[in-house]
Amino acid sequence: MKEPTKIIAAGRPRKRPHHPVNPPVERASTYLFPTYDDYADGGKNIVYGRLGGPTHRALEDAIAAIEGGVETRLAPSGLQAVNAALLAFVRAGDKLLVADTAYDPTRKFCERFLARFGVETIFYDPMIGAKIDALITPEVKAVFAESPGSLTFEVQDIPAIAKAARAKGARLIVDNTWSAGIHFKPLAAGAHVSVQAGTKYHSGHSDCLIGSISSADEETAKLVFHALLQLGANVSADDAYLTLRGLRTLSARMPVHEANGLALAKFLARRAEVAAVLHPAIRGAAGHAIWKRDFSGASGLFGAVLHPVSKPALKTFFNSLRHFGMGFSWGGFESLCIHTHPENNRSATAWTRSGPVLRIHAGLEHVDDLVEDLERAFAAMKAVRS
Ligand SMILES: Cc1ncc(COP(=O)(O)O)c(C=O)c1O
């Protein structure tokens, strides 16, 4: 099956006559076992609400089909999917390698939470590639990659990192949210785990929080399952339903995000106000050659660095935008633009550019309106500056 067909077909059990197209929302804490033997057996698949019901299973199956995993489990947010994946593989005394460009709350979970339980995190340069081998000491039990990285969009050499991790018995976890699982397949590239913040492209409508963890093999899947189980992670059936509903149109939405993102990136690259565009598909971006080799396309999220401007001018730029909202998250149908601060969350590498950094999410609006919006905001910014 081709990918768009898989996304439509996966997770749609046809068990009963007159079944609806979409698996209905099944809300339950308690599932009743029909007989004592069923109860004593513990149930094979659906046992208790916290472990998910049919709505959750349908979504998990669909994501597993996209990511190419043996099993996918849901988490209540993308961040908890990251955290549970990390917790699955480490214990006190272990070390973790984490990309310096990881999403800041991922970083804080390592620095502020795991550190309290005796797990040390070493941050590494996202462009390290095969040289990561030198950092994988016997205490390193997991390597965490996020490709492209948050805010600055460096593309990592996942096949090389996976090879080095596997050679030393460490597990590789990849935050694959940017590609939505469509444009990059970390598990096929050698990673053990692919994490999605389903909050973004999978749900696609900016109205729910959810995460997923897809595993490459049964042993990894078991450790992930136990981590989620012991954390008491729970996803509402409503959010699983909304995400599955969003997922069905993923392969129709992604090309528009990609085309709009590329058009905006090219527009920005031509603007005098812009010092650099941070888009993996644009030549000159960190890891562009790796992106070309490993990815089948781009999503709509990228960065741009402006030449230094005064605070009032920058405020005017943002306040003049009509179609770009200012809000956290991304991956929804709407465009967003925020001011970010990569210099605040880097330790293995330095962010040396001095101008303001924008993070832009290209939504599904007509691109002409988005370009016009940016033109207007730049004009307003110029008026303040002069
Ligand atoms: C790359 C990445 N991973 C994980 C997350 C966390 O997802 P959530 O907001 O669902 O916890 C985010 C959120 O912005 C993200 O950008």
Assign 287 to helix, strand or coil: coil
Ligand 1 center from residue 335 Cα (angstroms): 17
Angle CA(222)–CA(228)–CA(232) in degrees, nearest 5? 140
Active site residue 103: yes
Mutate to test the pocket of ligand 1, among 329, 336, 338, 340 (most ligand atoms within 8 A of CB): 329
For the cut 80, the answer to whether the pLDDT of residue 16 exceeds it is: no
Peptide bond into 126 cis (omega under 30): no
E strand or H helix that includes residue 211: strand 211-215
pLDDT in tens, 331-378: 999 999 999 999 999 999 999 999 999 999 999 999 999 999 999 999
Active site residue 50: yes
pLDDT in tens, 293-324: 999 999 999 999 999 999 999 999 999 999 99
pLDDT in tens, 49-100: 999 999 999 999 999 999 999 999 999 999 999 999 999 999 999 999 999 9
Is the CB of residue 150 less than 8 Å from the CB of residue 301?
A: no
Query: Could you give the residue ranges of the DSSP H alpha helices within the chain?
Result: 3-9, 36-41, 54-67, 78-89, 104-108, 158-167, 218-231, 237-247, 250-270, 288-294, 311-320, 367-385
Angle CA(254)–CA(256)–CA(260) in degrees, nearest 5? 120
Q: From the candidates 175, 239, 294, 373, which is the catalytic residue?
A: 175
As a whole number of angstroms, the distance between CA 113 and CA 267 comes to: 41
**Closest residue (by CA) to atom 16 of ligand 1?**
103
Is the beta carbon of 103 within 6 A of some atom in ligand 1?
yes
Ligand 1 center from residue 19 Cα (angstroms): 34
Active site residue 241: no
For the cut 90, the answer to whether the pLDDT of residue 268 exceeds it is: yes
Is the CB of residue 196 less than 8 Å from the CB of residue 181?
A: yes
E strand or H helix that includes residue 300: none
Ligand 1 center from residue 189 Cα (angstroms): 22
**Domains along the sequence of the chain with CATH:** 3-247 (3.40.640.10), 250-385 (3.90.1150.10)
Angle CA(243)–CA(249)–CA(250) in degrees, nearest 5? 80
Q: Percent of the chain having pLDDT more than 70?
A: 99
What is the model's pLDDT at position 44?
63
Distance of CA 383 to the CA centre of its chain: 38
Is the CB of residue 185 less than 8 Å from the CB of residue 177?
A: no
Is the beta carbon of 186 within 6 A of some atom in ligand 1?
no
Signed CA dihedral, 31, 34, 40, 45: sign only: negative
As a whole number of angstroms, the distance between CA 161 and CA 98 comes to: 12
Is the beta carbon of 175 within 6 A of some atom in ligand 1?
yes
Is the beta carbon of 329 within 6 A of some atom in ligand 1?
yes
Mutate to test the pocket of ligand 1, among 79, 209, 235 (most ligand atoms within 8 A of CB): 79
If you search the block for the tokens 């069905």, which residue do you land on?
248
Q: Tell me if the pTM is above 0.95.
A: yes
Report, in angstroms and rounded to the nearest whole number, the Rg of the chain calculated over CA atoms. Answer: 22
Ligand 1 center from residue 309 Cα (angstroms): 29
For the cut 80, the answer to whether the pLDDT of residue 385 exceeds it is: no
**Closest residue (by CA) to atom 2 of ligand 1?**
103
Q: From the candidates 27, 41, 48, 50, which is the catalytic residue?
A: 50
Distances (CA, A) of 213 to 88, 90, 146, 162: 11, 16, 14, 17
